[in-house]
Amino acid sequence: MTARRTLYLLRHPVTDMTQSLLPSADESGVVGTASLVLLEKAVESVPVFPGPVYVLAQESITSVLAESTQRISYRELVSFIAEHDTTIVL
């Protein structure tokens, strides 16, 4: 049976990981099945995440992002949503 893929869309920075619905980096069961896209104000702080982290390209982003993140376009975001079984907006 294939593992279900989950896409997390984060709109605001995570202030307390213990209260967050994001999987923690320690959760080995989500490695390879979860992706995170940072939107809007969430780009201010990249949380520790057990899967790939993407940033929706915005003209207003002028700061250098962590090397572990990759910028994506709106078109790529739509493709990501279609490719994942579940999308969770936080």
Q: Who contacts 60 (Cβ-Cβ below 8 Å, separation ≥6)?
A: none
pTM of the model: 0.85
Residue 38's beta-bridge partner residues? 10, 55
**Contact between 86 and 13 (Cβ < 8 Å):** no
Q: What is the pLDDT of residues 2-57, one digit of tens each?
A: 689 999 999 998 888 888 888 887 776 777 889 999 998 888 888 888 889 999 87
Q: In what order do the strands lie in the sheet with 53-56?
A: 69-72, 53-56, 34-38, 6-10, 86-89
Q: Which amino acid is residue 39, in one-letter code?
A: L
Give the H/E segment covering residue 78.
helix 74-83
How far is the C-alpha of 8 from the C-alpha of 22, rounded, in Å?
8
The pLDDT of residue 5 is 92
The pLDDT of residue 8 is 94
pLDDT bin (cut points 50, 70, 90) of residue 66 is low
Whether residue 87 is predicted with pLDDT greater than 90 in this model: the reply is: yes
